[in-house]
Every structure is written in structure tokens, then in C-alpha cells.
Chains A and B, each alone.
Chain A
Amino acid sequence: MGLQIGKFIAVNVLKAVLLIIAISIICFILVSASPVDPIRAYVGEVGMANMSQEALQQLNDYFGVNTPFWERYFNWFKDFIRGDMGQSLIYRQPVADVIGVKFMNSMALMLTAWVISGILGFILGIIAGMMRGKWIDKLIKGYSLLLASTPSFWLALIMLMIFAVWLGWFPIGLSVPIGIDAAEVSIFDTLRHLILPALTLSVIGVANIALHTREKVIDVMEEDYVLYARACGESNTQILKHHGLRNILLPAITLQFASFSEIFGGSVLVEQVFSYPGLGNAAVTAGLNGDVPMLLGVAVISAALVFTGNFIANILYGVIDPRIRRSMLHE
């Protein structure tokens, strides 16, 4: 069994490495083909106009603008493996450091949203599925369908308007209060800034999870083994407790980890609206300002993050599903 799991993990790590190489190559190609000019980004419009041709040439050489594509890529990749993702052009700091900070901010936001939407979505989905056709099902389904088709940035704006502007319960943006020394920022301040964006992301995330869970509940309740459990005298509640939950939980977990990418995608927009300094926000800023090293770093880290979500789902599936777990044992 140990051998099986070892092989499984080795294969997946290899997949992750290949994925990251592929993603970085694609990003490299896209950036090279785009009108993004790192030198313009670095020295600014005014600097460009005032610089001599000679100095410009020097900068071009320094940044390796005229180095052949593959050579440039390998240079980047060699450094990347050593943990050096280059220097951010707009933050004027190593990309790795910037991403480190933004990553922590984003993780706090995304994990909160991920846990809330997962638990809430699962519960709502089960209620709707068990009460299929009743008013409560229609309510949950209606809510989910409505939210599933709501753009996250729009919802973020509405939330911002209601809770931050009109009611004034929460700050209108950023992750810490403005004009306060970083050392004086309390955990309470951080949480206060986190609530609104996290809530927006959760509310959106709930819809998908609830709808999927509802479908699964309906499927499971029509299975032969539920019919048989009923024939053996089990009530609906007992059936849900004994057979429903364990059969719904499996796909729900996969979905939950796969939804990582969705939350990540949503967070890019939501962070933008709330000016929340996370990875998504950094990606947008880097893109708009031609910060090539930053852009590459964010793309690769995001890919790794989403991959990790799916990878964990795969492993958990094997741990929870006896059919997979025991077949590994017997082999």
C-alpha cells in the first residue's frame, strides 16, 4: 500500500512540475507577443523621453530584451528553481517577497470564503435535495441560480455600497486602516477588513456548491440502496444519516477542492473592487503596469495553488472511498 501511495504521489508531483513548466512557457510566449515593454514600465514615460539612445541600449541589454526567446526563458527558469523570481518592476522588491505577502492576504480571504461557502453550500444543498419540490427547495434553488448568474464584481460593488457606504459597518477597502503604523494594526482591524470581501466570495461560492449537492442528494435518494433501506423500515432522516451523507460527501469533497480555482478566479475581481492587496489584485496591477516578472510569478504560483487543490481532492478520495482504499490494499 505504501508503495502504491508513493507511486501515486510521485506521479502527481511529476504532473505538477510539467504543469508549471507548461504554464510558464505559455506565459512567456504571451508576454513576449504582447505590447508590454518592461523598460517603459521600469523607467516610465517621462524617463523614456529624456533618455539617450545609448542609455536605452544599455537598459535593453541589461533586461535582455534582445536575447533569443528560449535563452531568456531558460535564464528565468534557472533562477526560478533557485527561488529567485526576479525583481518586481513596480514594487521594486523581489517578486518572491511581494508574492509572499500578497499570498498570505489572499489565503486568509480565500480560506474563509472557501470554508464558509463549502459548509453552507453543503447544508443548503442537502436541505433542498431532501425537500425536493417543497417551497424551501424552491427558495434555495432560486437563490442559488440567481447568485450563480451574478457577476462577482457586481455583487462586490453592491455589498460595498450597502455595508460600507450606507451603513458604514465595514471599511470601504484595503486590508488595514489607512494612516496607521503597520506595527499598530491589530488582528481586529485585519478581520474587519476581511469580512466584506470574504462574505462576497462566500455568497457567490455557496450557489455552486448548493446546486451540485442538491443534484447529488436527488441522485442518491433514487439509488437502489436507498429504496432497500426504506424497505427495511428506515425513515428519511435515518436514510440521510446512514446512507445519504456518506455517499454525498465523496463528490462534495472533490467539488470543494476543485472549487478552489473558482474562488481564486472570483477573488481577482473581488479584491479589485475592495482594493484588497491580495494575489489577484497584484496580478491585475502587474498586468496593467507591464510588470513582467511579477506577472510570471503570480501566474505560476496561482497554477500551483489550483493544482494543489485538485491534488488534495484526489488523495482524500482515495482515503475516504473504501473501494479505492481497499483495492490499493489488495494489490
Chain B
Amino acid sequence: MEANKRKEILNIEDLFISFNQYEKGLHRVDINVITNLSVNVMEREIVAIVGSSGSGKSLLAHAVLGLLPKNANVRGRISFRGELLTAKRIGELRGKEICLVPQSVGYLDPLMKVGIQVRHSRDDEETKKRQQQLFDDYALKEGTAELYPFELSGGMARRVLLASALMENPKLIIADEPTPGLDLPLAKKAMADFRDFADKGNGVLLITHDIELALEVADRIAVFYAGTTVEEALVSDFDREETLRHPYTKALWRAFPQHGFRSLDGVQPYVKEMPSGCPFAPRCESVEPACSGEIPLRTVAGGTVRCVRFSDNKGEHGEKGAEENEA
């Protein structure tokens, strides 16, 4: 109910990203790196996209910001606050309404002092004041602005990048793996900062491989596997295995240390050898022939899932089946 009252900030619908590549001379192949990806972010909400390395998560951030390389083909709808994001529109919003918090200090110019970088090369008094305010807020000592990126500690760099994103009062922050290299207290602090930001009526799209951290801070989790979202679940759904929908999410759940630490055999399929239908089918224990067909996205118990067990004709059966398994 509450979700209906809140305004939508970002909506990604059926996103496809593929790359043209030349193989063996002039033979051109299209490599699909993201297929059928759908996710949305509402006001006052942190949505985490969780997936293992190499699942194409960073590309999603680049796609939203319109920063993909020229040989990328993008299909699907991305809209921001109800307005379709065209290449021109994203060019206007980038760095103002939508800001990126990049992965590491490597995204800062090594030859430029951090203060001026956070100010995005502007030097007027007002901008300086705002930057100083942000640095104070994030407990960055006086003089930090005069340091070069290589002189920052991991934690400082993280806070500088955060301050940089907040300079323009954005509506949406896309954070791409913001925590690696941070110890737990600092990672939690970073997450608390995102929470604060979201609570002011903004949205955060958190892209990470760290599901435990995501569970701690996010409102919803989109589980990303081999370039597609297999399930979107509320954080509370992760309390029990039964409330989770997709076999991959369940497998993830079982891999938690507190839930048995059982790892799943096999690896995520390589982009060039993607199976048709569900990408998880080769590793799924309840695989069936229908898995290799087209699988629609279904809304189930407040979340969404893409699995044949919840397909139209057998949705009820699927739910029941799951319960029977538990019994």
C-alpha cells in the first residue's frame, strides 16, 4: 500500500545489453551480457542488486548513466521519475539528478587534488562552502581537500567519493560495489550514509556482490544471475528459505554460514555459452523441460520471480509443490 503512495524514481524494464565483437577476422558476433533485466527504485528506498562477479552488474550502472562503449547495443526502457531516459536526457541529468558512487579511488584523477575534484572543477565560494560542509559531515579532516587521491586511506577515499556524489543534491545514487576494501565498521558507516540519503526522499541503487551487507541496509533485493534478475524480494523474505522464490536465491540462502554454508556445484554460465531460457537451469535441482523456454516475470507475494514453477498455468502447483517439499 505504502509503495503505491511513494513516487517511482527509477524504473528499468526488460533491459538488454549486447556487444558487437569480431571473432576470427570479420565474423561478427553479438554477445548478450544483460537480458531481461527489470528493476525499480522508489522514493526513500534502497534497492540492492546482488550478484556474483562477472554477472554484468557494473554494466547496468553504466547503462543507466548512458556510459556504455560505442559497440554496445541497448534495448528496453529506462525511465527516471516517470520520464523516459533518452541519450540526450541522461546527458542533462548525469552528475546532477543521478550520481554515481564508483568502486574505488581509481575513479579519481590521480593528478588532481580531491577538493577540486569533488567540486567538479568549480571554484566559486558557494561550491567551496558546500564541499567543506560535506567534508565536515563525513568527518574528513581539514586539509583533506588539499590531498591527492594517492594520499587518501581507503575509508577516506570512500567518503570523498560519497561527498562527490552528494555535491549536487541528486535524486538517485547508483553505488557500484561501494564497500570492497573497507573494514566492517566503515562499510556499515557507508551503508548508514546511504540510508540517511534515501530517508530524505531519494533513491539508492546499490550494486554489490555482498549479500549480507545488502540485507542489512536495503529494502528490496534484486538477485542477479548471469545477466538477468531472477528474483526481486523484500529483505524480510530472506529470513526463511521458504519465503524465497527462485531456486538460485534459495541456493544463495543455503550458502550463508548461518544456514549451513552449503555451496552449490557448478559455475555461472559464460556469456557466450548462455543456455536458452533460464540461465540457472543447468545447476538447478528442480529443472524441467519447460526451463529452456521463454519464462515470464511473475509477481508472487510482493516480489517478482522468473521461474517456470511460478508460470501461469502451474503457478498454484508450483507454490504447492514448494510447500510439499518443505513438508
A→B interface (CB under 8 Å): 224-225, 227-234, 238, 241-243, 246-247, 250, 321-323, 326
- Selected from B99, B112, B148, the residue in CB contact (under 8 A) with A232 is B99
Contact B95 A242 (CB under 8 A): no
Encode contact with A along B96-131: 1 for CB under 8 Å, 0 otherwise. Answer: 100110101011111110000000110000000000
Query: When the two chains form their complex, are residues B67 and A250 in contact, meaning their CB atoms are under 8 A apart?
Result: no
Q: When A233-B96, A322-B148, A326-B151 are in contact, do A228 and B111 touch as well, CB less than 8 Å?
A: no
Chain A positions within 8 Å of B238 at CB level: none
A225-B106, A323-B150, A326-B148 known; A250 vs B111 contact (CB < 8 Å): yes
Contact of A231 with B109 in the complex, beta carbons under 8 Å: no
- The listed residue (B62, B65, B99, B112) touching A243 by CB distance below 8 A is B112
Chain B residues near A323: list those with CB within 8 A. 110-111, 148, 150
Quick one: given A231-B65, A234-B120, A326-B151, are A243 and B109 in contact (CB under 8 Å)? Answer: yes
Known A-B contacts A233-B94, A233-B96, A326-B151; A228 and B110 likewise in contact (beta carbons under 8 Å): no
**B179 interface residue, CB < 8 Å from A?**
no
Q: Are A247 and B102 in contact (CB under 8 A)?
A: no
Also in contact, A224 and B111, with CB within 8 A (given A231-B65, A233-B120)? no
B109: chain A residues at CB < 8 Å are 225, 229, 242-243, 246-247
Say yes or no: B112 contacts A246, CB within 8 Å: yes
Interface bits B76-107 vs A (CB < 8 Å: 1, else 0): 00000000000000000011100110101011
Can you report 23 A-B residue pairs in the complex whose CB atoms are below 8 A from each other?
Answer: A225-B106, A225-B109, A225-B110, A227-B62, A227-B102, A227-B107, A228-B100, A229-B109, A231-B100, A232-B94, A232-B120, A233-B95, A233-B120, A234-B120, A234-B121, A242-B109, A242-B112, A243-B109, A243-B112, A247-B111, A321-B111, A323-B148, A326-B148
**Which residues on B sit within 8 Å (CB–CB) of A326?**
148, 151
**Minimum CB–CB distance for B95 against chain A, Å:** 2
Instruction: Take A232-B99, A234-B95, A326-B148 as given contacts and tell me if A224 and B106 are in contact as well, using a CB distance cutoff of 8 Å.
Output: yes
One of B96, B99, B121, B164 near A238 (C-beta < 8 A):
B121
Q: Which A residue sits closest to B148, measured CB to CB? A: A322
* A297, B226: Cα distance in complex, Å: 70
Tell me, in angstroms, the Cα distance from A230 to B90 when the chains sit together: 11
User: Closest 5 CB pairs between A and B?
Assistant: A233-B95, A232-B95, A228-B107, A231-B100, A242-B121
- Enumerate chain B residues within 8 angstroms of A322, measured Cβ to Cβ: 111, 148, 150
Hey, which chain B residues are within 8 Å of A246, CB to CB?
A: 109, 111-112
Given the complex of chains A and B, what is the CA–CA distance between A250 and B111 in angstroms?
10
- Report how far A241 CA is from B151 CA in the complex, Å: 23
Least Cβ distance of B286 to chain A in Å?
41
Residue-by-residue, is B272-296 near A (CB-CB < 8 Å gives 1, otherwise 0)?
Answer: 0000000000000000000000000
**Residue in contact with A230 in the complex, picked from B94, B96, B121, B164, CB distance below 8 Å:** B94
Residues of A within 8 A of B150 (CB): 322-323
